[in-house]
Structure 1
Amino acid sequence: MKLRAASRLVLAPAALALLLAACQPSEPATAEPAPAAEPAPVAETPAEAIGDEPAVDPAAAEATPEGQAPAPAEGESPEPAPAPATPSAATFATEGEHYDLIPGGQPFEPLNGKIEVVEVFNYVCPACAMFQPLVNSWKARLPADVRFTYVPAPFGGNWDPYVRAYYAAEAMGIADKSHDGIFQAIHVERSLKGERGTDSPQDLARAYAKFGADPAQFASTMASFTVNAKFGRAKQYITQQRVNSTPTMIVNGRYRVKGRSFEDMMQNVDRVISQVRAGG
């Protein structure tokens, strides 16, 4: 997989071997895993493409100027003009190939006329760190009718403090500017432990201080009623949506996007958006 240059996040070579698979909690969630993507069917090559050519009357070819269709014979009706080309099937999203339909799925927030795209992630997940530059590049061209939302996954253990940290940063207005930096602190600088150990609220508060947070206020906010409520809501959402790995992309709460690679997943997000926009 290639990392695009849209983000400042640079991954250490030692970490790259860990990033080939999506992250999962140490104990599987109760949700059923999504079925693997079926390979796309290969279209058969038409006969004309492998050497067969329609017969041409030599006399008609000589009498017809190059690039012009031959005139109809006397008494014959002219051939109708060809119909306009239909949109390529590659622009459509297909259930089972590009996405799985989530039974009873609901958006994270009321849609209010928007198309919602959610990334379920966690900072401790190496695959999410690898995915982030692609997300940044995609977000830079986000259409006006699409709303993008991060939902941190509380899979338990050392994943959970980072859910609280994300919502504390959101409450303090620094979630956007600190997002890439926390990935960097865990997976490149290794100043935070991530999955390698347990980071205390004070450890996390010191990391967020680089982005303008007061450490004491940050640690207090992590334990606040507001953050506890958002933590519970995130947990309810990923259970309802049957998310058992990160990163996971979900459109309108109903379409869990699939892909053979991270690049393929982002292309399929765009396919699903186009289909939802068209009323499909």
Structure 2
Amino acid sequence: MIRTLSLIATMAVSLVFSGLASAEPWEDGVHYRTLSSPVNTSSEEGVEVAEVFWYGCPHCYNFKPLSEAWEKNAPEFVNYVRLPAVLGESWAPHAVAFYALESMGELDKVHDALFKALAGERRPLNSAEALADFVADYGVDAEAFVQAYNSFSVRSRVRQAQAKIMGAQITGTPTMLVNGKYIVSASMAKSHENVLKVVDYLINKEHGLSE
């Protein structure tokens, strides 16, 4: 009887370790990619998680509620930033609009609406004037928006963001850039939900909470 129980216990332990071994790990080069040359982060403290997006991207629009929920519950050591990408000429006005609104402290008023208008409704908001008319409907001063849109500081921020995106060799949206070292996309992780699981793994790795 004792021998039988010992055999059962041994089999149970073997099954547990077999299950752990067969569990799919997050692998470099498969579920995420480590950059050969890391890019700068906005702060030397904490772990930066940068969401690279475009307002006109339907996949970014679908990813948005997931990423926002993740950001809301992220550990205190995470610095979450958004980088509007310019991977095509038509994307440029929307990246400029993002930084113009951010510089005015008005981004929260219009961020959701811009996603809905551009990714959801595909409205032709491709100039400073068209965007100014749009944001005015949400309580943003149109004239002040155009001034910010054309300002040197806003254009500089757009250039800095694109240099970072290009340095990370990002070619699609949405893509997550973790601490300037790793990139994760749905095509790599196989789903938007998995993207955030891989990000969890990577931020813990960077923060020294996992091997």
Give your verdict on TM over 0.5: yes
SS of residue in 2 equivalent to 1:120: strand
Q: How far did residue 269 of structure 1 move?
A: 0.8
Aligned to 2:70: 138
Q: 1:92 to 1:221 in 2, by over 3 A?
A: same
Contact residue 53 and residue 60 of structure 2 kept, 8 A:
yes
Contact residue 55 and residue 119 of structure 2 kept, 8 A:
no
Aligned to 2:151: 224
Is 2:43 aligned against 1:116?
A: no
| Structure 2 stretches lacking a partner, 5+ long | 7-12
Aligned to 1:188: 120
Matching residue's letter, 1:156: G
| Structure 1 stretches lacking a partner, 5+ long | 1-56, 62-67, 70-81
Is 2:33 aligned against 1:100?
A: yes
Whole-angstrom distance in 2 between the partners of 1:176 and 1:273: 26
> What TM-score, normalized by structure 2, do the two folds share?
0.83
Q: How far did residue 117 of structure 1 move?
A: 0.2
Matching residue's letter, 1:103: S
Is 2:190 aligned against 1:260?
A: yes
Whole-angstrom distance in 1 between the partners of 2:178 and 2:160: 18
Q: 1:115 to 1:92 in 2, by over 3 A?
A: farther
Contact residue 58 and residue 119 of structure 2 kept, 8 A:
yes
Whole-angstrom distance in 2 between the partners of 1:162 and 1:168: 10
**Percent of aligned pairs sharing the same letter:** 33
Q: Which of 171, 175, 186 is matched with 1:248 structurally?
A: 175
Is 2:206 aligned against 1:276?
A: yes
Contact residue 49 and residue 176 of structure 2 kept, 8 A:
yes
RMSD after superposition: 2.6
Contact residue 49 and residue 80 of structure 2 kept, 8 A:
yes
Q: 1:177 to 1:213 in 2, by over 3 A?
A: closer
SS of residue in 2 equivalent to 1:150: strand
> What TM-score, normalized by structure 1, do the two folds share?
0.64
Contact residue 58 and residue 120 of structure 2 kept, 8 A:
no
